Amino acid sequence: MEFLLDLHPDAYPLEGFRRRQLLEWVFVQGVGDFSAMTNLPAELRTQLQGAFHLNPFREIETVRSADGSVKYLFTLQDGRQMEAVYMPYLDRKTVCVSTMVGCPARCAFCATGAMGFGRNLTPGEIVAQVLAVAGGEGLAPRELRNLVFMGMGEAMLNYENTMAAARILLHPQALGMSKRRITLSTVGIAKGIRRLAEEDDLGLKLAISLHAPDEETRQRIIPTGAANSIEEIMAAARDYQAVTGRRITMEYTMLRGINDHPWQAELLAERLRGLVSHVNLIPMNPWEGSGFQSSTEEQIQTFYDILESRGVDVSVRRSRGKDAGAACGQLALKRPGAVSGAVSSAASGVGSGAGAA
């Protein structure tokens, strides 16, 4: 049986008016059960039910943070697990989705990296996270307007499936997201960065997890970093910007005594010279067994001041969802405290139907 969400909306098994009806049920109304699509003929619903399934999840659990963020733990049909995070703000609702089970990048300060690599997610498994989060929060799918590919996995190493998912997210008859509101994060796969620049129909925003300006430190905290030197990453970033004209975000996790020295701030500023960029300084989020500590507030401020004095656009990003194990670098299938909700999704499908008529 084929997973319907793996298909591009233009390849759905109906034509014309019926296809539009089906797309509206799935992506506008958030209904994950063919039998509930009441304006489709009963015979057609039966045919769809026999040929396709709409739900990649065996179970969905949630852990809610005091700041309003929610971690979603998904058990896939093959028993593997991965996570997504819902982050509500005053002016937007954002979902952080995974592209893999686990991650092969093995960043030493990241709990996901410590898990190792499980498998790539399919386009539909990526998109289904958005529908499930919307349903879990009582929202219509299109109320989630901001998305970041920053959950589990290295999106550039699951490139085809991630791009296919992005095209579904952007499709006007699917989730109709704005390309300006989708960000893809990479640990620095130079080939993938250049490839992304050529995706004319996508226009996704790019974030590079640099985390150190010198090779010795970067390869210490990112063991796979040797495959793409900082010089190669920066050259790819400049090529990307020359093609797209878009600003690039540099993610920099602040690790006490590792990458927070003043000379490293100076070197980072030098690396970014001539590049239109924004640096996010991220205090390291704790997780059991990491062996790292976040830089002190004083160290972060000194690093910030040096960058700013060198003309670098910089901010300190305070991660949300720490108490739920949902913050940047914490995703590792952990359940801190009590799980606040556990719902079997087998019967009801991915969405809750919150927006259904």
Which residues are marked as active site? 83, 328
Residue identified by tokens 């998912």 is 165
- Closest to 352 (Cα-Cα) out of 23, 22, 26: 26
184 DSSP β-pair partners? 149, 206
Strand-pair partners of 120: 100
**Separation CA 261–CA 254 (nearest Å):** 10
107 annotated as ligand-binding: yes
Q: Is 211 marked as binding a ligand?
A: yes
Ligand-binding annotation for 261, yes or no, is no
Query: Is 210 known as a binding-site position?
Result: yes
288 is in an annotated binding site: no
Residue 278 assigned to a binding site: no
- CB–CB of 65/330 below 8 Å? no
Q: Please give the torsion angle defined by the CA atoms of residues 304, 295, 318 and 330, in that order, rounded to the nearest 10 degrees.
A: 140
Q: How far apart are CA 213 and CA 30, in angstroms?
A: 44
Whether 277 has a binding-site annotation, put simply, is: no
Residue 120 is labelled as binding a ligand: no
Closest of 6, 52, 314 to residue 168, by C-alpha: 6
Q: Which three-class secondary structure state does DSSP give residue 213?
A: coil
Annotated binding site: 103, 107, 110, 153-154, 185, 209-211, 285
Annotated binding site for S-adenosyl-L-methionine: 153-154, 185, 209-211, 285
